Structure 1
């Protein structure tokens, strides 16, 4: 099985905006289920909708193209696989997600 390549620099360029001050989350608990729901960065620039059917939709303020694809979960990491072929790692923390330097919390 081929290990997915995560091009963080490219993803940061695609995502734009301001990265989080710290990229380290507290030691996450191991997840067995996806964090289904809507997730949003503090500044509202990045939104990630995670669906229970194994798909996701990502949106970035100022970008016309939405990211669509599937995800897999391996312990405390969720890997997004965009339809364009881009793979992105998402750290699953307690009550928050971290993706390419952005911290996302539950959208209310």
Structure 2
């Protein structure tokens, strides 16, 4: 007689959030450790700023952005395109700036921006 073995989890090392995630969905092969889906890149829509406040970027749902950079007289604004984890900003002059989108962080031109 064959037994269908359920995956065994040692629940003594899991915190409340992990236990809730497991309880809310069924474990499936390939989903990542403990059946929790692997993290996805952050949705970049929202306000972002550098830790020192020198760079601020507002990504809007309509495909436009606005930003300020300390020392720059003219504020930046234009459109953007998201392709996987790369956000490409294109300002009104045609200048393109690649931005790497990560978990709760944007990295661009030597600056690391977090949620504002």
Q: TM-score range by the shorter chain?
A: 0.5 to 0.7
The match for 1:59 is 68
Number of residue equivalences: 78
Structure 1: segments with no counterpart, 5+ residues: 1-27
Higher relative contact order (CA 8 A, sep 6+): 1
Aligned mates of 1:29, 1:76 — CA distance in 2: 9
Compute the TM-score of the two structures, normalised by the length of structure 2: 0.63
Give the CA deviation at 1:29: 3.1
Over alpha carbons, which structure has the higher Rg? 2
Cα distance change, pair 55–72 in 1 and its aligned pair in 2 (3 A) = same
For residues 1-108 of structure 1, the aligned pairs below 5 Å read 29-30=40-41, 34-107=43-116
RMSD: 1.5
Higher helix content, 1 or 2:
2
Runs of 4+ in 1 over 2 A off after TM superposition: 28-31
